[in-house]
Structure 1
Amino acid sequence: MALTADSPLTELLQENPKAAEILMRFGMGCVGCALASGETIRQAAEGHGIPLPELLEALGIEE
């Protein structure tokens, strides 16, 4: 299954462990926190004030 902006962070990290480095570069230092486990990529970007298109491009994900 292809990852999208609405995929959970946990799924992203399972599919691509190197995504953690990218998320941290964008200021998402709490990738492993309890809240992150229930968040989608979209929700995490919004919560951290990160432009979703930029994050998705860095992750190699199409919206």
Structure 2
Amino acid sequence: MKATKDMFVADVLNMDRGTIPIFFRHGLHCLGCSMSHGETLEEACAVHNLDLAQLLDDLNVYLTEASAEAETGS
């Protein structure tokens, strides 16, 4: 699955907890707060003045690699 700007932060976390360090690197540290369930990636980046395109790129690179590893069993 691919992360998109319209996805809620919590939905991305539920897809793969391995995304947590990516959020941290980008300055999103309050992943357990209630806003994560009602705030899209786009909204979170706007509120925290973060680069949405870079966050999406980093998340999707990770998710693609994790999916490939799961398929090959490595």
TM range, smaller chain: 0.7 to 0.9
Q: Bigger radius of gyration, 1 or 2?
A: 2
CA distance in structure 1 between the aligned counterparts of 2:4 and 2:14, rounded to whole angstroms: 14
Aligned to 1:24: 24
Aligned to 1:35: 35
Change in 2 beyond 3 A, CA 1:40/1:57: same
TM-score normalised over the length of structure 2: 0.73
TM-score normalised over the length of structure 1: 0.83
Question: Moved runs in structure 1, 4+ residues, more than 6 A?
Answer: none
Aligned to 1:51: 51
CA distance in structure 1 between the aligned counterparts of 2:57 and 2:22, rounded to whole angstroms: 11
Unaligned runs of 5+ in 2: 62-74
* % same residue: 31
CA distance in structure 2 between the aligned counterparts of 1:52 and 1:2, rounded to whole angstroms: 14
Between structures 1 and 2, the one with greater helix share: 2
Change in 2 beyond 3 A, CA 1:2/1:27: closer
Q: Which residue identity lines up with residue 48 of structure 2 in the other structure?
A: H
Q: Which residue identity lines up with residue 52 of structure 1 in the other structure?
A: L
Q: CA deviation at 1:4?
A: 1.3
| Aligned residues between the structures | 61
